[in-house]
Chains A and B, each alone.
Chain A
Amino acid sequence: MNKLLAEDIYYLMVLGRAFEYAAKEHYLQGEISGFLHLDIGQEAFSVAAVKAFAKGDIFSTYREHVIAIARGIEPGAVMAELFGKSTGISKGKGGSMHLTDLSRFFYGGDAIVGGQIPTAVGCAYARKYQGREDGVMVVFGDGATNGGAFFESLNIASAQKLPLLFLCENNQYAIGTKITRVAPFLHQAKKAEPYMPVYEVDGMDATAVYAVVKEAQSRIQQGHGPIFVEAMTCRYEGHSISDANSYRSAQEMKLCKEKDPIERMKKELLESWMAEPQLLASLEKRAQETVDQAVAFATQSPEPKPEELYTDIFCKECANVVS
């Protein structure tokens, strides 16, 4: 970590949060629909992990707006996707849960819990085969660690010594079900321990997340096989925008918000990196302007053309072979 990077991470966290609040606002105004899974409260995890895993492939869950933006996808292209517009990163056909950008090695959100994990294993195999050492990072929630896809992947990735970083975002909840009600322990890294080195990190601490993911990637690059990182986080909102979050007490929410990752990073910048308050204020302003521009872009963009209904199912050449 250095000061410039810390500023960049701070900027992206503020940008991510402003983006999510804007998405919420425009959902409530009816311009966005479907599922909207907000990442508010978890920005340290999403931004710092992606920044640390600067090169290599990333597979994610549906809670992915901030991850996508941290990977470098234009906020306007993400917002336009949420608006269902043709200028969206998936032409308005994927929506919030399906943002993909091959040029940034980002394969976007999988809306089937755990579904992206075996896919990431396969990609890690390809990267090993090609001798490309950056490896693959797969992001998933605590809820995904109870499924077969997860356990099968631990086994295969470790048996085949694949360059794969398993990154578990443990916010303790799968929708309304607390992890300890459906798993025998709170920390899911335990499940990976027999297979690979595991790291635990405070997911509300961007600097810590950055350091752990950086180290994990460098170990992966040495070719010893997969690594498991578990970050404990806390989401501020309901599971999706239609979830009233009634299963968490006011006290639990208060404790959760006391660890605010953005406040923490700001303090660190001011105290440890001697950042100028005006500089941080200007980053905050720039983040808000970027989000406003993203919304304006999304609003002004055209709808997809009707014929888009039939495109992108096969490639043209493949279709020719078939017909």
Chain B
Amino acid sequence: MLYREALNRAIDEVMASDESVVVLGEDVGLYGGSYRVTEGLVAKYGEERLIDTPIAELSIVGNAMGMAIGGLRPVAEIMTANFSLLAFDQIINHLAKFRYMSAGKTAIPVVVRFPQGVSRQLAAQHSESYEQMLSAVPGLMVLAVNDVNYAYHALKKAILMDDPVIFIEHELLYNKEGEVDFDADLDPFKARIAKTGEKITIVSYLKMVDDVMEALPEIEEKLNCSCEVIDLCSLNPIDHDTLAESLKKTGRLVVVEEDHKTGGYGTQIVSWAAEELFYALDAPPLRIAGEDVPIPYNRTLELASIPTPDKIAERVIRWGKNNGL
């Protein structure tokens, strides 16, 4: 099953079992979603439950919140992260704070989904990642899932939660193949160990997990050691337990992310490790992230602006050799 099909299946199943679930966004209905995540759902559930909105992101999120207050369980799709910026007021001032400002009285069961990241030559205004900003907002849970099986389970659970969840996807993950175990009981807020290992803990999320896995054989061969790869899944809250357990074993931390290095999400992980696990670390942590530049159109420059499997391998090997491996 493809990643986008797993998401489709998750939405389909909750819509079938709960009439209060509605989907809204640009081109989500008749068109089937610009990344085909909601394909076929309008035929099943009608236009009242698959609401094609105009290009009005602020209203998409604001309306979703009002629908939730009114007793519905909306899944809002923003076409890409780049346009979520137009909805940041509703997301941050309203969605994230309403339960708190009503002294806990109001459930806000809203999921806001969007893909982000560098796809292929979509240029500066269509290639950004905003998990670092949204993860810094108290009152929002942020999921960013790499694995197809997790995508299915995490989205299903997110829709059934009574608090707002930002569900971040990646434009290049939609056609990823994977098996879904429909009967599994997965906790989307628990990190996934993509691979176990002994000497280095490599933490990543979303598409970069795949790039790390691609780089891994070379890293393990050249450094002659095994690495543990942790796919965070939940960016807020963070599953510190799983991270701590791994780091106590390996003593070495690498964080790989696609967003810009300055202020990037990885700062979160590294500063936590420095504060909490300083004496467990055998080497300074390594962050591999995107360059601090707008994303260029030209393919060579575009690839130079973000981590790639080759660059990940090269940087980790160099760092490992300088740090006793």
A34 touches B122 (CB 8 A): yes
A157 to chain B, nearest CB (A): 20
How many chain A residues have a CB neighbour from B under 8 Å?
40
CA distance A253 to B294 in the complex (A): 38
Task: Say yes or no: A303-B300 contact (C-beta < 8 A), given A147-B55, A177-B27, A309-B291.
Answer: yes
CA distance A284 to B122 in the complex (A): 32
CA distance A96 to B125 in the complex (A): 12
A113 touches B291 (CB 8 A): no
Decide if A94 is an interface residue (CB 8 Å cutoff): yes
B121 touches A34 (CB 8 A): yes
CA distance A146 to B55 in the complex (A): 6
Q: Return chain B residues, CB-CB under 8 Å to A93.
A: 123-124, 296-298, 301
- How would residues 104 to 115 of chain A score, 1 for a CB under 8 Å from any chain B CB and 0 otherwise? 000000111111
Closest to B85 in A: A112
Among A84, A94, A148, A306, the residue within 8 A (CB) of B124 is A94
Decide if A318 is an interface residue (CB 8 Å cutoff): no
Q: Return chain B residues, CB-CB under 8 Å to A146.
A: 54-56
CA distance A148 to B298 in the complex (A): 32
A111, A303, A306, A309 — most chain B CB neighbours (10 Å): A309
Task: Say yes or no: A306-B301 contact (C-beta < 8 A), given A93-B296, A111-B125.
Answer: yes
CA distance A113 to B86 in the complex (A): 10
Decide if B26 is an interface residue (CB 8 Å cutoff): yes
A91 to chain B, nearest CB (A): 8
Task: Say yes or no: A176-B27 contact (C-beta < 8 A), given A35-B122, A112-B83.
Answer: yes
Decide if B293 is an interface residue (CB 8 Å cutoff): yes
Decide if B120 is an interface residue (CB 8 Å cutoff): yes
CA distance A34 to B52 in the complex (A): 25
B136 to chain A, nearest CB (A): 23
B262 to chain A, nearest CB (A): 12
Among A96, A175, A310, the residue within 8 A (CB) of B27 is A175
Q: Return chain B residues, CB-CB under 8 Å to A313.
A: 293-294
B87 to chain A, nearest CB (A): 11
Closest to B122 in A: A34
Chain A residues with CB under 8 Å of chain B are 33-35, 81, 84-85, 90, 92-98, 110-115, 143-144, 146-148, 174-177, 181-183, 247, 303-304, 306, 308-310, 313
26 contacts between A and B (CB under 8 A): A33-B299, A34-B122, A35-B122, A35-B126, A90-B297, A93-B296, A93-B297, A93-B298, A93-B301, A94-B297, A95-B122, A97-B125, A98-B124, A112-B82, A143-B54, A146-B55, A146-B56, A174-B54, A175-B31, A175-B34, A176-B30, A303-B300, A306-B300, A306-B304, A308-B301, A309-B293
